[in-house]
Amino acid sequence: MLLGFYYPKRYHGGKTMKRTLSFALSAVLALAMLLFVGCKGNETEPKQADVEAVYAKLVESGQLPSMTKVPERDLEEVYGIDKTKLAQWAMYLSENYAVTVGEVSIFEVSDAAYAEELQGILQNRLDRLRKVAKEYAPAETAKLDPVEVHRVGNYVYMVAGSDYNALMKIMQENIG
């Protein structure tokens, strides 16, 4: 009987052991598929958000300096952002960057392929902000250290202010 386990074809004709092994492998594969389908890693599904309403919540938090909205014409001319590929946007800068660091850039793209390009544009902007802050507002550079550009579905955003973690909590609650 013990040898039948090692040599199923020779001692049992192979049918019983083959069925048992086949069933066991099928069960293991089915379980593995369920586990992998259930796990999505760090991906988060975006929530449908009005980006201006999200900006208003960020302002209400008290973690931003006085801000001014970036004019629509500056999106492309100054920042290189193709506004024809945006579903909605909110971009606000600190009124006096030389004294106080602060920025809110929230974009929902209508073209999913553009999200990656926009993420790169915002990353380049963040890199430049860090360099400029070192020269003009060295006391404010610590506010930019934790800042990252985030992409959730068709949303791309970056926020910088007094308390990055508090701002990110609002962003994650409203966009993802």
Summarised one tens digit per residue, pLDDT across range 121-163 is 999 999 999 998 888 888 888 999 999 999 999 999 999 999 9
- Over residues 49-71, the mean pLDDT reads 96
Residue 161 is assigned to a structural domain of this protein: yes
Question: In this structure, are residues 140 and 100 in contact, taking their beta carbons and an 8 Å threshold?
Answer: yes
Q: How confident is the model at residue 85, as a pLDDT?
A: 97
Residue 68 is assigned to a structural domain of this protein: yes
Average pLDDT, the chain: 83
Domain span holding position 76: 51-174
Residue 120: strand, helix, or coil = helix
Q: How confident is the model at residue 132, as a pLDDT?
A: 87
Together in a domain, 18 and 84: no
Count of domains observed in the chain: 2
Strands in 150-152's sheet, in edge-to-edge order, are: 67-69, 86-94, 103-109, 155-160, 150-152
Q: How confident is the model at residue 138, as a pLDDT?
A: 84
Q: How confident is the model at residue 25, as a pLDDT?
A: 53
- Over residues 92-103, the mean pLDDT reads 89
Together in a domain, 102 and 133: yes
